Amino acid sequence: MEKPQIRTTLPGPKAEEILKKDEKYISTSYTRSYPLVAKAGRGMIIEDVDGNTFYDFAAGIAVCATGHSHPKVVEAIKKQADKLIHLSGTDFYYTEQVDLAQKLTQITPGDFDKRVFFGNSGAEAVECGLKVARWYTRRVKMIAFLGAFHGRTMGALSLTASKAIQKERFSPLVPDVTHVPYAYCYRCAFNQEYGSCGFECIAYIEHYLEKVVPPTDVAAIFAEPIQGEGGYVVPPPEFFSKIKKICDEHNILLVDDEVQSGFGRTGKMFAVEHWGVVPDVICMAKGIASGMPLGACVASSEIMSWPPGAHASTFGGNPVSCAASLATIDLLTSKLVDNAAKVGAHMLKRLKEMYENHSLIGDVRGKGLMIACELVKDRKTKEHAKKEVEKIIFESWKNGLLLLPCGKSSIRFVPPLIVAEEQADLALDIFEKALKKV
């Protein structure tokens, strides 16, 4: 088992040179938690330009589901690149796009005819979901959740309510979007406790539709089955079924944003399967193609029956990305989804044991390999420990572990789905060492 090795000071001399060029030429809008300059990736390992190696528990923001440069995915990419790199599936036909569309209709929830729109990213998948919801329902209003992240393009950004900085100076956004509280039980917006709360978060939506906006004006409710950038917030198991009930009662579409949680990440192919709910529209990206740019929006054939020209994408459904996705799905369905459930349960158990020994940990939550620790300065007041999160992530990097934050003061654990228990244990040892140092 290859282990992380730090051979130089961090960042190393070669990294320093590239960081100077980055500072001069790259947009200042990017956020970086530490100055890692990557050279290569293999499996669970990232190697930087100075020869230091790290365990990757960020996976390119939950993208590299099959690990870095999985041989079967690389083979599929090379084989396809030798045949056809681009043609544009919105104007022409090719096998890889239709084969992948067929596969996605088979693995997504719901036993009915479906169609697929391909884009290049999660934001584009969400844009498609927004547009098709308006087109199909002939309604304009949308409901989304506080803490949600659906992307940064103007339509997707209108649905997002993760951090105010993401919207600063970009108004006006798409109008007629209302944000309501998510079932963030650790920080309940209504100061209730799960089990005795009566689901006030659901009642809030019902009251909104009763007193503020007629449900006949609402096209869709957009929801992440587990909030991603909002802090890896796992709702109670009843939450989504209650949302779906509201949608069904008022002919409102439920749009399931699986961009971060999909493709085996949570121990199910799609996270919404944990809740036993079949959404009307599913948006997906990230883990879909092991790092190749691809996004997809899947809906029933009835919903996605818009006319030619209503929506399109030049690069969406690129043949090479589709080939990578087909290889990725084969790997996921063979064993990696099950591995995510198994190793994820092991990691969750260990992190909950750390909770008992470290008062800085306020909450541990997750499904499969989509796990977060929320850090607080005081468990009673739940004051966010944002600076401590930054220090722990930086210290972990210095010791060979790549992590990323999420929410206001949470650390996410999203390794590739190939991770073994031994690798997870070593990573958690590094994390706990950093935790003790803060």
Position 209 in a domain: yes
Q: What is the pLDDT of residue 177?
A: 98
Alpha-carbon gap, residue 278 to 159, rounded angstroms: 21
Q: What is the pLDDT of residue 137?
A: 98
> What's the predicted TM-score (pTM) here?
0.96
Q: What is the pLDDT of residue 1?
A: 83
Position 243 in a domain: yes
Position 295 in a domain: yes
- pLDDT tens, residue by residue, 150-173: 999 999 999 999 999 999 999 999
Position 5 in a domain: no
**Residue range(s) defining the domain that contains residue 255:** 72-331
- How many domains does one find in the chain? 1
Position 82 in a domain: yes
Alpha-carbon gap, residue 322 to 343, rounded angstroms: 28
Position 57 in a domain: no
Q: What is the pLDDT of residue 173?
A: 96
Q: Which CATH number do you get for residue 291? A: 3.40.640.10
Q: In what order do the strands lie in the sheet with 295-300?
A: 114-119, 295-300, 281-284, 253-257, 218-223, 141-145, 177-180
Q: Which residues, 6+ apart, have CB-to-CB distance to 294 below 8 Å? A: 118, 119, 120, 285, 288, 316, 317, 318, 321, 322, 324, 325
Position 226 in a domain: yes
Residue ranges of the chain whose pLDDT lies below 50: none
Q: What is the pLDDT of residue 327?
A: 99
